[in-house]
Structure 1
Amino acid sequence: MPVEKDVSEFLRSTFRSIWSLELLFLLADDATRCWSCPEMVASLRASELVVNQAVDNLNAGGLLVPEPGDCFRYAPASKEVHLLVISARSLYAHSPDAVRRMIIRSQSNHLLKFADAFKFRKG
């Protein structure tokens, strides 16, 4: 199993929101099932925009694959990634607030770096 440092890095680098994490866990529950966007929206009780952003994020991260009929299924890019998902799920089950803080802090850091790019420098 991956070490906690690897799981933390996976969470910070892969997930832009808790919605993405929740969606991943929903799809990972049955890796053979292909989910349509309306099914994901209904299951998560989320907006279509939130689900579409999460799907795009997870797909780009090598965690989902598109299937015919505009649906997606859980398919991690490697066994190592699958083990990270399992470890992330375990950590989330035991310390949900810690996982939420990791994801939120990660996004805050990205926003600060973006904002810093627009600061005027004294020459």
Structure 2
Amino acid sequence: MVLSDDALALLRTSIRSVWALELLLLLRRDPARDWSNDELVRELRGSEVVVQEALAGFLGAGLVAALADGRHRYHPAVPVLDQWVGEIAQAYASRPSAVIREIFAAPGNKVQIFADSFRFRLND
């Protein structure tokens, strides 16, 4: 997978699931559109909780803007963030399994923590 170190760091720290990546890419496809949480839930067939968690992470990373009416839009705080998201989008289009592996391998990923809890240690 060809991602710059910065794009890989963004992927590992700010995109906690494949669903969150799909949400971010949806927002990025139409950056002029303001989305309500309900519209995002319907569009991606997700849950309100998952949408809220993903949007909160994206807000913290400076990838989306929250509008006064509760809607959100893709609006990276600095242009380089859009460049990194673009790298991630290209990698996901060409090698989705590699991107998915990186998401699940990210430190603090709940799925990875759960899976690791079932690993046997050699000294046990």
Go from structure 1 to structure 2 and tell me whether the alpha carbon gap of 1:108 and 1:71 turns closer, same or farther (over 3 Å shift): closer
- What is the aligned partner in structure 2 of residue 86 from structure 1? 86
For each residue in 1:75-101, what CA deviation from the matched residue of structure 2 results, as whole angstroms up to 9, or x when unmatched? 001111110011110000011111111
**1:15 Cα shift?**
1.1
Q: How does 1:32-51 map to 2 (within 5 A)?
A: 32-51=32-51
1:33-92, Cα deviation, whole Å (9 max, x unpaired) = 100000000011111111111111111110011112110000001111110011110000
Gaps of 5+ in 2: 118-124
The equivalent residue for 2:13 is 13
Q: Provide structure 1 residue ranges, at least 5 long, that are not aligned to the other structure.
A: 116-123
How far 1:4 sits from its partner (Å)? 3.0
Q: Which residue of 1 aligns with 2:98?
A: 98
Matches within 5 A, 1:19-38: 19-38=19-38
Tell me which residue corresponds to 1:119. none
| Residue matched to 1:56 | 56
RMSD of aligned alpha carbons: 2.1
> TM-score w.r.t. structure 2 length?
0.82
How many residues in Structure 1 have an aligned counterpart in Structure 2? 112
Asked whether the equivalents of residues 20 and 58 of structure 1 are also in contact (C-alpha less than 8 Å), the reply is no
Q: CA deviation at 1:18?
A: 1.3
State the match for 1:67 in structure 2.
Answer: 67
